[in-house]
Structure 1
Amino acid sequence: MRGFEPAPQGLVLTLLGAYLEPRESAEVWSGGLVRLLGEFGFSPGAARVALNRLVGRDLLARTRDGRHVHYALTPRTITVLAEGDRRIFSLGRSARAETTWTVLWHAIPEERRLARTRLVRRLRFLGFGPVQDGTWLAPHDREHEVATLLAEHDVTEYAGVLLGRPATAVDFAVFVTRVWDLAELAAHYESFVDRFRRHTATDDREALLLRTRLVHTFREFPFLDPELPADLVPPPRHRAEALALFHDLYPALAEPARRYFDHATSMR
């Protein structure tokens, strides 16, 4: 599919998140993962580098059985994937009215920049947008999730969190357009619909390729869509169509896609 150019490490996590079961105990043969990455255009060398880097980031655990290498998800990755499932599969499923908002301030020092980078990515996935350097805003009560993230990255001492509601004396709808680019968000939803609405799969291999591209592309929406309250701004154009397409196509392709994953990762 033209226009699909994922990073190999991210694609590995998409594949394992979609097909490896049970996540807590299952292992997958390294040769099978290399074979699957090859289906998406990655060389064996690039695939092995990606797997090694995921191990180095504590996102995969490597085990050996004689000459064969297998990979399993680490507890950190299992947690991240579960968080991702909640955001991906609940995104836009019900209209949201006025709600509690979360403001996060942080002043994480430069020597902790890796923790800061990882925190920021997770904040975006939870619907936070940047107000200014070190200040983030989300139209949700994220007290529990933020506390967990700060503790996970050992940066609690550098942050503060406030829950509240926007004042009615000013036009807050205008302000949020400076935090989130709502026109760009609508364009992303439109592009998703245009890309996937006419695609079908005629065999198990095509089902895996299409389903993986579908979910890998869709999982970017939690980073982009804060799910603003409907009484503040209208829902993004094309979101309803994109959600319907995803929730119809993703389960419809599950069985043949899983068969091909099992076939490709088999050592037989």
Structure 2
Amino acid sequence: MQESESDRIDGTWTGATPSMATTPRSGAAADSGAGRPKMLIMDVCGAYMRPLGGWFAIAKIVQLMNELGVDEAATRSALLRMRRKGLLEPENRPGARGLRLTDQALTALEDTDRRIFGPRPPAYLGDGWILLSFSVPEDQRAKRHVLRSQLSWLGFGNLGNGLWMAPRRMRDALKKTVEQLGFQQYVLMFEAQYTGFTELSALVGEAWDLAELATLYTEFVDWCAPIAERWQDVRSPAGPQAFIDYTLALYHWRKFPYLDPGLPKDLLPDDWAGHRAAELFFDLRNRLEAGAIDHVRKVCAF
């Protein structure tokens, strides 16, 4: 299968998080159905393969994915796609065919971890905004698609007509991304303060579709709250259920740091569901991560 230009440029773990989705919203929309195996395989390889030596036997990956409800054919297809993306490479050991995370994957996972697990306090409204305007020739429209995709992954909101915005603290990340893509000739960057005329909260609500984001957060809370309650009084969570619950929590959560740029609290509703969602996820991570890793260690012992 021949890769398009956007596939080649987008072939990092970050550009494929929470799956191989083009944008974080397309990943959110594919939270079930055909897209699920390739999303979950990223979580399994990223969350467990690294702390356990960077290599798993393929048969053991199939077994873990089966515990998550994914059949062998879908798992092998997802692994093949990750190999084509340059994220996994074959490494056989006596008695076992296996896969290892590539250097490219390890580097990308470090960046992804900072985004997904790092502190994300709200931006300060007084710091202002970073604005980006771009113009890409029609005969290079694949690059236009790549740039839009990367802006979405960075958490930028779209004001329309090639104009995007984010809290000013995203300036360095934007500059790094544009330089890595080699797109400097297409992009103009500005630092700005908003002075009118539409209410800023209304403008921000449209640029990021906060109503949709609030719905997604509420859905996560509704899914995660019963899981968290189940483990609340368990002193040492372990076994397959700890692995399943933590992996699925990670799978459902990881889109949010890409959809939500950490807007100033002045622009968010008082009952913003994102606060509760973050509280639930990080509490569940603290409770279940060690037990989940221990379960995977036992399954993948070689």
User: Which of the five TM-score ranges fits, normalised by the shorter chain?
Assistant: 0.7 to 0.9
In structure 2, distance between residues paired with 1:70 and 1:116: 37
TM-score (norm 2): 0.76
**Paired residues of 2:205 and 2:211 also in contact (CA < 8 A):** no
Aligned to 1:16: 45
Aligned to 2:188: 160
SS of 2:113's equivalent in the other structure is helix
Aligned to 2:130: 102
Aligned to 2:254: 219
In structure 2, distance between residues paired with 1:235 and 1:121: 30
Letter in 2 for 1:242: A
Evaluate the alpha carbon distance shift between residue 169 and residue 227 of structure 1 in structure 2; reply closer, same or farther with a 3 A threshold.
same
**Paired residues of 1:103 and 1:162 also in contact (CA < 8 A):** yes
In structure 1, distance between residues paired with 2:64 and 2:143: 31
**Runs (5+) with no aligned partner, structure 1:** none
Letter in 2 for 1:232: L
Q: Judge which range, 246-255 or 148-157, deviates more.
A: 148-157
Tell me how far 1:93 sits from its aligned partner: 3.9
Letter in 1 for 2:286: P
1:39 aligns to 2:67 (yes or no): yes
Tell me how far 1:110 sits from its aligned partner: 5.8
The superposition leaves residues 114-150 of structure 1 with CA deviations (integer Å, 9 ceiling, x where unpaired) of 5554543432232211222533211233232122222
Tell me how far 1:207 sits from its aligned partner: 0.5
The superposition leaves residues 184-225 of structure 1 with CA deviations (integer Å, 9 ceiling, x where unpaired) of 222211111111111236741000110011011111112322
Aligned to 2:242: 207
Q: Judge which range, 180-189 or 126-135, deviates more.
A: 126-135
Evaluate the alpha carbon distance shift between residue 53 and residue 208 of structure 1 in structure 2; reply closer, same or farther with a 3 A threshold.
same
Q: Give me the CA root mean square deviation.
A: 2.7
Q: Judge which range, 45-54 or 134-143, deviates more.
A: 134-143
Match of 1:237 among 248, 272, 288: 272
Letter in 2 for 1:255: A
**Paired residues of 1:92 and 1:243 also in contact (CA < 8 A):** no
SS of 1:42's equivalent in the other structure is coil
4+ residue runs of structure 1 moved beyond 6 angstroms? none
In structure 2, distance between residues paired with 1:257 and 1:22: 12
Tell me how far 1:235 sits from its aligned partner: 5.7
Letter in 1 for 2:265: A
In structure 2, distance between residues paired with 1:152 and 1:83: 14
Evaluate the alpha carbon distance shift between residue 79 and residue 156 of structure 1 in structure 2; reply closer, same or farther with a 3 A threshold.
farther
In structure 2, distance between residues paired with 1:140 and 1:89: 21
More helix by percentage: 2
**Paired residues of 1:92 and 1:227 also in contact (CA < 8 A):** yes
**Paired residues of 2:129 and 2:191 also in contact (CA < 8 A):** yes
Match of 1:30 among 46, 53, 58: 58
Evaluate the alpha carbon distance shift between residue 111 and residue 59 of structure 1 in structure 2; reply closer, same or farther with a 3 A threshold.
farther
Aligned to 1:63: 91
In structure 2, distance between residues paired with 1:104 and 1:35: 45
In structure 2, distance between residues paired with 1:11 and 1:113: 31
SS of 1:35's equivalent in the other structure is helix
In structure 1, distance between residues paired with 2:129 and 2:187: 17
**Paired residues of 1:204 and 1:256 also in contact (CA < 8 A):** yes
Aligned to 1:254: 289
Evaluate the alpha carbon distance shift between residue 140 and residue 79 of structure 1 in structure 2; reply closer, same or farther with a 3 A threshold.
farther
Count how many residue pairs are aligned between Structure 1 and Structure 2. Answer: 264
TM-score (norm 1): 0.85
**Percentage of matched positions with identical amino acids:** 29
Letter in 1 for 2:36: A
**Runs (5+) with no aligned partner, structure 2:** 1-30, 232-236
Evaluate the alpha carbon distance shift between residue 111 and residue 210 of structure 1 in structure 2; reply closer, same or farther with a 3 A threshold.
farther
The superposition leaves residues 8-48 of structure 1 with CA deviations (integer Å, 9 ceiling, x where unpaired) of 2221221122223359x622222211221222222212211
In structure 2, distance between residues paired with 1:126 and 1:235: 25
